[in-house]
Amino acid sequence: MKMILLNGKTVSASRLQKLKELATEEFSVSNRRPGLAVIRVGDDPASKIYVSRKVRACHDVGFNSFECLLPSHVSQEELIQKIKEFNARSDTHGILVQLPLPKHIQEGSVISSISPEKDVDGFHPMSLGKLVAGEQTMIPCTPLGIMTLLTEYGITMKGRRATVIGRSRIVGRPISILLDQAGATVTVVHSQTPHPEALCREADIVVAAAGKAGLVTTNWIKPGAVVIDVGINRLASGKIVGDVDFENVAKLASHLTPVPGGVGPMTICSLLENTWKSFKNSSSH
C-alpha cells in the first residue's frame, strides 16, 4: 500500500490564500483589518521562531499584528496589565500569549485575564468549558489544525479507534475531545500508562503529542493506520524531528504527517482562521 503524506504546508497555504482574499474584500468594503496581538515573554529560542512565523503569516494575509516582547523578569501583574490593554482595544480581535511562560508567572491566571471573545488560542477556561460541553467556541489551534487536515484528506473519524499520546492542555486533551465528538472511540495514553504501545497498536488514527523524539516506532502502529505527528524535537545535530520514527512508520501507515511541514503549518493556519472568526464576531465589526 502506498503511504499518503498529509501535507500541512499545501493545505495551510491554500486556506491562507482564501483568508487573504476575504481580508482584502473586507478591507475594500469597511477599511478594517483583523488584528492579532502576540505577546512573548523572555528569550525562549523556540518561542521566538514560533512567534515570528505567526507574525509573518498575519502580514502575508493582510491582518494587522501587534507584537509585544516583555523581559523574562516581567511581573505577572505587568503582563496582565498589558493583556488588559489589548482587551480594551477595538483594533485587536485576537490575543495570544506564547507559552511556556517563565516559572514565576502562573499561566492559568494570565490566560484567564484574556477576554474570552479574543481568546484565539482557545485556552481560556470559558473556551475549554464550552468545548467540553460541545458548544460553539474557539478551538485550540493545533487540535483544530489536525481536524482540518484529517477532514481535507477525507479521513473518516466516525466509528474508528483513535489513540492520543499525551494529555497536554495545548494538544492532547483538546484533540481527544474533538475526535470523540467526531465519532471516534478515543484512548489517551501518557507517561503513566503501562504498555502504551499495545493501546496505540489498536488505533486506526494515532495522534502523537508526547514531545519525545522517535517515541512512536513500528510496534506502536497497526498497518494502515493514519498517523499524525505533533512533535517538534530538536536533536543534538540541530535536525528537527517529530515523535514518530518517520522512516519506518512510513512503511506501515496509510497516511502520515511529515515534520516539518505537517501539523506545524496547520497550527498557524488555524490561528489566523480563529482570528478571522473573532474579527467577524466582534461588536465593532
- Tell me the catalytic residues: 54, 98, 121
Q: Which is nearer to ligand GUN, 213 or 252 (CB)?
A: 213
Q: Which is nearer to ligand GUN, 123 or 279 (CB)?
A: 123
- Give min distance, CB of 235 to ligand GUN, in A: 19
Can you tell me which residue has the cell 489498536? 202
Q: Which is nearer to ligand GUN, 143 or 249 (CB)?
A: 143
Q: CA-to-CA distance for 36 and 54, rounded, in angstroms?
A: 9
**Contact (CB, 8 A) for 59 and 21:** no
Can the peptide bond before residue 260 be classed as cis, meaning omega within 30 degrees of 0?
Answer: yes
Question: Residue 75 carries which DSSP code?
Answer: -
Q: Which is nearer to ligand GUN, 57 or 141 (CB)?
A: 141
- Sorted by sequence, the CB contacts under 8 Å of residue 171 that are 6+ apart come out as 140, 142, 143, 207, 209, 230
- 211, with CB counted inside 10 A (0-12, 13-18, 19+), is middle
Q: CA-to-CA distance for 268 and 189, rounded, in angstroms?
A: 26
Report how far apart, in Å, the C-alpha atoms of 167 and of each of 23, 83, 170, 176 are.
Answer: 35, 27, 8, 8
- Give min distance, CB of 46 to ligand GUN, in A: 8
Q: Which is nearer to ligand GUN, 148 or 267 (CB)?
A: 267
Q: Which is nearer to ligand GUN, 142 or 148 (CB)?
A: 142
Q: CA-to-CA distance for 60 and 13, rounded, in angstroms?
A: 10
Residues in contact with ligand GUN by the rule CB under 6 A: 96-99, 121, 141-142, 170, 267
If phi over 0 gives left and psi between -120 and 50 gives alpha, with beta otherwise, what is residue 42? left
- Give min distance, CB of 171 to ligand GUN, in A: 8
Q: CA-to-CA distance for 17 and 15, rounded, in angstroms?
A: 5
- Give min distance, CB of 170 to ligand GUN, in A: 5
- Sorted by sequence, the CB contacts under 8 Å of residue 151 that are 6+ apart come out as none
